[in-house]
Amino acid sequence: MQSIVNGQTFLGIELGSTRIKSVLIDQNHKLVAQGGHSWENALVDGVWTYSLDDVWDGVQKSFADLVQNVKQQYGVELTKVKSIGISAMMHGYLAFDKDGNLLVPFRTWRNTTTAEAASALTEAFNFNIPQRWSIAHVYQAILNKEDHIKDVAFITTLAGYVHWQLTGQKVIGVGDASGIFPINARGKYDVTMMDMFDDITDAQGSMLQNGVQGTMPKILTAGEHAGELTPEGAKLLDPSGNLTPGIMFCPPEGDAGTGMVATNSVAERTGNISAGTSVFAMIVLEKALSKMHMEIDMVTTPHGKPVAMVHCNNCSSDVDAWVRLFEETLSVFGDAIDKNTLYENLYRKALEGDADCGGVLSYNYYSGEPITGFTEGRPLLVRKPDANFNLANVMRSLLFSAIATLKIGMGILDGENVRLDKLLGHGGFFKTQGVGQRFMAAALGVPVSVLESAGEGGAWGIAILAAYAAQKANGETLETYLGKVFAAEKGSTLAPDAQDARGFASYMTEYVRGLVIERAAVDA
């Protein structure tokens, strides 16, 4: 309690795709309290978006929930902390004019409407530019001759936007920046590619008014001072007026970077898998890949080390939809069950299924999936007439489908002889002990560890980055600091089960062959 009263705690806020989470930790990085608020993206005029009103409503409610939990647990009012960090979904497009007005609704990472731009920039740069990257959205708007482009003065990510409004600073963490525009070996925007972009757009008569470099937020690395909470920012975060201005901030980061921190996966030959609404693997490289791969994103850790990222737009959304259906089915018979218990029981049921899912095949494509060449998705469950169609195989197929596209992408890194000493999992897919972890190990053919703290997720990760910025020793690296954070961390490791691995391989053969079914569904 004394650390709360004295303002010696650290606050992390992460805006995830379905939940905005606030976490308060102490000087030993232990969880003190947390708060949260659920929200959902909306498909408006064909664009996946969140309104800025919803952003601030959600941030305020999440923080207020944290404040209330602090008061209930410790009997004190939270009025100050030592430092704050903001994290959010990476990528997307938030464009503002010179007066700070949003020019078009926020276009999130989930949109797959920038194929033309992404392809053209990839060819021009000889560097993979995925559809969800901010620069792909910028160039697609130029190609579409959208009227707002002439007024664009500043582009940032969701984390960068929230940080800017709270501190007045137009900055971004290098990990988040690496999803905006390619980063060079010095941890800065690649100037050569920026000049190429300006030349391309100038030739087309649509060059950004400040050039691309003058339009992007300034890059900072983990541990740097990134501004302070302004009086206006304090009122924006806490309309009650109790929060004290002047609190320092660490650089805002993307959810990929905070996931790396939360799993102690920032050193070479380490990697982590974040599996929730989307699923992505982050592998910290010893050396550059031999060539460009369209399926692999090159991003960085929060302190600028190169990372190979395999990102899939779809993971658990289809599982969630089926769980809701089963919940509704139970309610018809008057049976109410705690949702966490329902999830756990259904996940465990999947362990009883046939190794290859017994002829039941699932596609979890709520949205497009670039790794397999889809710009739209149609969730599907299909089976052969003689399939062993039961609950266990349905659940197993849904969970296999959630990681099938990731498997395709990770196969490319295998071909590049990328080596891993450890792979850690976090996110909702791993919440039921020994299920998602077991299937992921079988799918990827490597042991998968889940730490006890992994459930805290990216909000805890950005809180740790806030603590690192505030209390690191002179010259202390992020790897060394995290070594102390995780020194006594406990967890579990599961090696691949041979039967599961054979079953998943058989499932993948059918999955790849069956992509024509998904294609037909989209086309029709």
pLDDT tens-digit profile of 395-436?
Answer: 999 999 999 999 999 988 988 988 887 789 888 899 899 999
- The answer to whether the CB of 280 falls within 8 A of the CB of 425 is no
pLDDT per residue as tens digits for the range 228-264: 999 999 999 999 999 999 999 999 999 989 989 988 9
Of 461, 474, 350, whose CA–CA distance to 86 is shortest? 461
Q: Is 122 in a helix, a strand, or coil?
A: helix
β-pair partners for 102: 96
What region does 219 belong to: left with phi over 0, alpha with psi -120 to 50, or beta? beta
Of 58, 51, 66, whose CA–CA distance to 460 is shortest? 66
Residue 121 forms part of a structural domain: yes
Spatial distance between the Cα atoms of 243 and 331, rounded to a whole number of angstroms: 43
* Parent domain of 204: 91-156+182-215
- The answer to whether the CB of 152 falls within 8 A of the CB of 96 is yes
Is the pLDDT assigned to residue 476 strictly greater than 70?
A: yes
Domain count along the chain: 1
Spatial distance between the Cα atoms of 275 and 133, rounded to a whole number of angstroms: 20
Going by pLDDT thresholds of 50, 70 and 90, the confidence category of residue 491 is confident
Residue 120 forms part of a structural domain: yes
- The answer to whether the CB of 113 falls within 8 A of the CB of 140 is yes
Residue 516 forms part of a structural domain: no
- The answer to whether the CB of 29 falls within 8 A of the CB of 82 is no
- The answer to whether the CB of 89 falls within 8 A of the CB of 259 is no
Residue 400 forms part of a structural domain: no
- The answer to whether the CB of 504 falls within 8 A of the CB of 402 is no
Pairing, β 171-173 against β 218-220: parallel
Spatial distance between the Cα atoms of 172 and 37, rounded to a whole number of angstroms: 24
Residue 70 forms part of a structural domain: no
Residue 133, domain CATH: 3.30.420.40
pLDDT per residue as tens digits for the range 272-293: 898 888 898 999 998 888 899 9
Of 7-11, 290-294, 377-381, least confident by mean pLDDT is: 290-294
Residue 443 forms part of a structural domain: no
Is the pLDDT assigned to residue 89 strictly greater than 80?
A: yes
- The answer to whether the CB of 81 falls within 8 A of the CB of 62 is no
Residue 257 forms part of a structural domain: no
Is the pLDDT assigned to residue 489 strictly greater than 90?
A: no
The pTM of the whole model exceeds 0.85: no
Residue 15 forms part of a structural domain: no
Q: What is the reported pLDDT for 455?
A: 57
Pairing, β 360-363 against β 306-312: unpaired
Please name the residue ranges forming H helices in 214-361.
Answer: 231-237, 255-262, 317-332, 339-350
β-pair partners for 280: 274, 311
